[in-house]
Structure 1
């Protein structure tokens, strides 16, 4: 096991937690603004990381990815995971299908906004010659965009599954049957090399585009 990669992975995991917190906060906030206050009443419209932790998605799977990275697995360099699903009562949403899709996309959209804000700080770090700020910012921006595109995979409990559900008009009953196999589906999907290449392509292409706006070398 490569200790350097292990330490690097643990640093990435620490960076992953605040990014995930903003991601889940965005889901809860948009659901509230669309008419459903279920998440707000459960304290999920919050930037407190502890209220968004999911045992499997926030602790077990990401740390497993870190360990496998140290063993030179195909997962090396990436943190995969998700937060505790934000409770949404779609009956309370003003426009069920549209608003449910907006709630699902709010998390990935927040990740893109975070990456933009972080790279703006990186630009300041470059101008001011703050190498630690630049290095930390680049890592955070990369992780934020990776989390964005990973969560857009159309398998539960990931956000893309809600987008798929509403796009094809899947019934609630059919969707919940689909969700019963969600964790297994995620484990299978992350073993497919094409999926990783697709996520990597989307992540680095978006990172490069944002970096280009700030005239940074990504």
Structure 2
């Protein structure tokens, strides 16, 4: 895409500690699990400078879809491992339990990040598809994003999105929670 910001900040690493956010990776997931038996959270966002993107409009959309796409690929890989579990008797049961958790958490992260609420990835994708005269919607969403996120997490997510996540989990893995 043309932006070296993540590289300069040492974020091009598979070390998970470089990507954890204290509130989003530990505190919020624990709180949402206790409140709704669902896990919501986030890692540190990957830093980028939109001015360095070769094509700003579509570059923002591609940056925005990269996270959910990575979640989707993880879901597919671990979902296939769970589906073929009966043929992999050499692996311990704990491997499959952790794989199920990986699928469940990544399904939730993918669904959450696709919401068009700034600063979530879905807002960048939405912005690329909105006509220029509707770009003000993004500014309104940014102004109220904290409150929209709270309403979404505590009221909309458990009622509408968690059942979808549970259905997709069963569809992908062949298991139920």
TM-score tier after normalising by the smaller chain length: 0.7 to 0.9
1:64 paired with 2:31, answer yes
Label 1:104 to 1:126 Cα distance change in 2 as closer, same or farther (>3 A).
same
Distance between the aligned counterparts of 2:143 and 2:4, measured in 1? 26
Aligned to 2:80: 120
State the 1:145 CA deviation. Answer: 0.9
Q: Give, in whole Å, the separation in 2 of the partners of 1:180 and 1:40.
A: 30
- State the match for 2:153 in structure 1: 190
What is the deviation of 1:58?
2.0
In the alignment, structure 1 segments of 5+ residues that lack a partner are 1-33
Corresponding residue for residue 102 of structure 2: 140
- The Cα of 1:204 is off from its aligned counterpart by 3.5
User: What's the CA shift string for 1:120-171, capped at 9, x where partnerless?
Assistant: 2223432233433322222211111111101111112211121222222465
Distance 2:4 2:139 in 1: 22
Q: Are 1:118 and 1:140, in contact at CA under 8 Å, matched by a contact in 2?
A: yes
Work out the number of aligned pairs and report it. 172
1:175, distance to aligned residue in structure 2 (A): 4.6
TM-score by length of 1: 0.67
**How far has the Cα of 1:47 moved from its partner?**
1.4
Say whether residues 1:93 and 2:60 are aligned partners.
no
Distance (Å, rounded) in 2 between the aligned partners of 1:191 and 1:205 = 20
